[in-house]
Structures are given as C-alpha cells and as structure tokens.
C-alpha cells in the first residue's frame, strides 16, 4: 500500500509523557537557598541586525528571552502607541505547549515618553526561548533594554523581578525562583520598577499570598532585587553603545579579488 506522504502519521492529540509518570520515591531534594539571592544575569543589547533595537537577557538556571523593537513607524491615530507582543516558543516550557502569556504593555508604558512620538507606533516583540522561572520579569527587563537600544526616549529603564512563595503555611518569599520552585509555589509575583525614579511600573501577582502584609513584604523584596539588577542592565547598554561606536569607526574592509 502506498504511503500517503501528505499526512503526518501521528496522533492528533499528543501529551507530554511527564503527565503519565508516577512520582518517584526519592524526591529531588532542592538545596536550600537564601531567599534574597539573585541568579546571575546576562544582558546584551544590540545583537539583531534587522531591528532598530534588540536585547537578550539570560538568567542563570535557564531563562532566555530575546526582544526586538521596530519603530517608530507611521500610524494613523493621533497619539503615540506602544504595541507589545509577548510570545513563548512552543518548546519553552517543560510539559505541554503553553497558552499565550499575559500582556504586559502596561508595565512598559510608564517608562516611554510616548508624547514625543505623535502619530507613530513602536512595535515590540519579546520571545521567551526557554522558561526556567521568572520569565515575565526577564522579558520586561529585555523589553526595556531593547527600547533603550533603539534610541526611544525613555524616562528610565524598567527592571523586572520575579518572586514566589513557598507552599505551606508561613512560606517565605523567594527572589527569582527557578522553574521547580515556581511550579511548586503557592503564590507568584512579578514586580517591574523604574529604579532611577523609584516608581513601580508594573505589578502582577496571583496565588495564596496571605494577608496584605505578606504581599507588601514580597513587593519590598522585589523592589530591592530590581535595584540590585539595575547596574547590570546599564552596563550592558554602555557596552552596546561602545561596540556600535567601534564598528562605525572601523574603515570598511577592501574586497580582495581571487586570482
């Protein structure tokens, strides 16, 4: 019988095998960590040639986010607009393909001087390549870096920080949780801060966080984390500017003819 090569011979609905796995007896012991310890962060701006501004942020432990900004482009309406698209790669999360992530344009809008771009639109695309915990926070930092790299006028950078609360009564809030901690968490929170102005640009939290005092403590911890990450992002912008200046100063290479 001839094979029908136009159809993919696979099941129509497939599930990740982890759903059927029986939990092992020896539970993976997560080594205790300090609640306020930050994961190492790598930030690099100005890496895509096709976008006006771009940034790549990686957190130690496997969260990778790539962000690109195009614009300002002409738009029909009177006010300047910032259009954000946050996407996850289909293989970014462990387990099933995830649903689309939350819109977080409201976290970036306070930082951008949209009044300086009338009748223009800025298009921002953030792509989470791998979700190893605190993906939204990393995406917000990458987005702000990309906007700054594109030369868009901004009041300040936006730094994002993720937190999660360990399960069980009286669980402590942990800064920048890993994927395992996030999955087991009782509550999650992402804070976005403009450190120079000390203004909270974005806040998104859900879960059993407890009374407002517990959430307030978490927000304070998150803001502190954002302040500590600020110098890293600023240095990456400076380095990107230096790289661009060096490339522009280099004389164009003469083409060699092959004999």
Q: Which residues bind other proteins (CB under 8 A)?
A: 15, 19, 102-103, 106-107, 109-111, 189, 194, 197-212, 215-216, 219-220, 223
Q: How far is the CB of 148 from other proteins (least distance, A)?
A: 17
- Measured from the CB atom, is 87 or 235 closer to other proteins? 87
- Measured from the CB atom, is 46 or 202 closer to other proteins? 202
- Rounded Cα distance between 163 and 173, Å, is 7
Q: Does the CA dihedral 200-228-209-108 come out positive or negative? A: positive
- Measured from the CB atom, is 208 or 235 closer to other proteins? 208
Find, among 89, 90, 85, the residue nearest to 103 by Cα. Answer: 85
Q: How far is the CB of 120 from other proteins (least distance, A)?
A: 16
- CA distances 255 to 6, 248, 252, 258, Å, are 47, 18, 9, 10
- Rounded Cα distance between 158 and 219, Å, is 15
- Measured from the CB atom, is 186 or 241 closer to other proteins? 186
Q: How far is the CB of 245 from other proteins (least distance, A)?
A: 32
DSSP classification of residue 17: G
- Measured from the CB atom, is 56 or 215 closer to other proteins? 215
Q: How far is the CB of 254 from other proteins (least distance, A)?
A: 51
- DSSP string spanning 104-127? -HHHHGGGB-GGGSTTEEEEEEEE
Q: How far is the CB of 215 from other proteins (least distance, A)?
A: 5
Q: Determine contact, residues 232/159, Cβ cutoff 8 Å.
A: no
- Measured from the CB atom, is 62 or 210 closer to other proteins? 210
- CA distances 53 to 72, 145, 233, Å, are 11, 8, 15
Q: How far is the CB of 10 from other proteins (least distance, A)?
A: 18
Q: Does the CA dihedral 245-248-251-256 come out positive or negative? A: positive
């Amino acid at each position: 019988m001839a094979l029908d090569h136009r159809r993919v011979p696979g099941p129509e609905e497939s599930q990740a095998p982890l759903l059927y796995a029986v939990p092992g007896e020896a539970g993976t012991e997560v080594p205790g960590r300090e609640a306020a310890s930050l994961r190492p962060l790598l930030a690099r701006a100005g890496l895509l040639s096709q976008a006006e501004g771009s940034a790549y942020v990686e957190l130690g432990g496997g969260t990778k986010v790539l962000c690109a900004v195009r614009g300002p482009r002409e738009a029909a309406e009177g006010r300047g607009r910032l259009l954000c698209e946050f996407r996850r790669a289909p293989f970014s999360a462990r387990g099933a393909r995830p649903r689309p992530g939350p819109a977080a344009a409201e976290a970036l809008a306070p930082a951008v001087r949209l009044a300086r771009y009338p009748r223009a639109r800025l298009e921002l695309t953030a792509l989470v390549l791998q979700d190893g915990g605190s993906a939204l926070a990393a995406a917000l930092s990458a987005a702000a870096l990309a906007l700054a790299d594109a030369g868009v006028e901004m009041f300040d950078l936006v730094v994002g920080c993720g937190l999660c609360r360990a399960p069980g009564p009286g669980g402590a809030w942990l800064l920048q949780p890993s994927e395992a901690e996030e999955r087991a968490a009782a509550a999650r929170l992402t804070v976005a801060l403009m450190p120079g102005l000390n203004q909270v640009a974005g806040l998104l939290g859900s879960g059993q966080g407890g009374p407002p005092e517990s959430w307030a403590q978490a927000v304070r911890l998150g803001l502190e984390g954002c302040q500590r990450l600020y110098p890293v992002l600023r240095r990456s912008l400076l380095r990107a500017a230096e790289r661009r200046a060096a490339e522009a100063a280099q004389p164009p290479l003469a083409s060699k003819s092959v004999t």
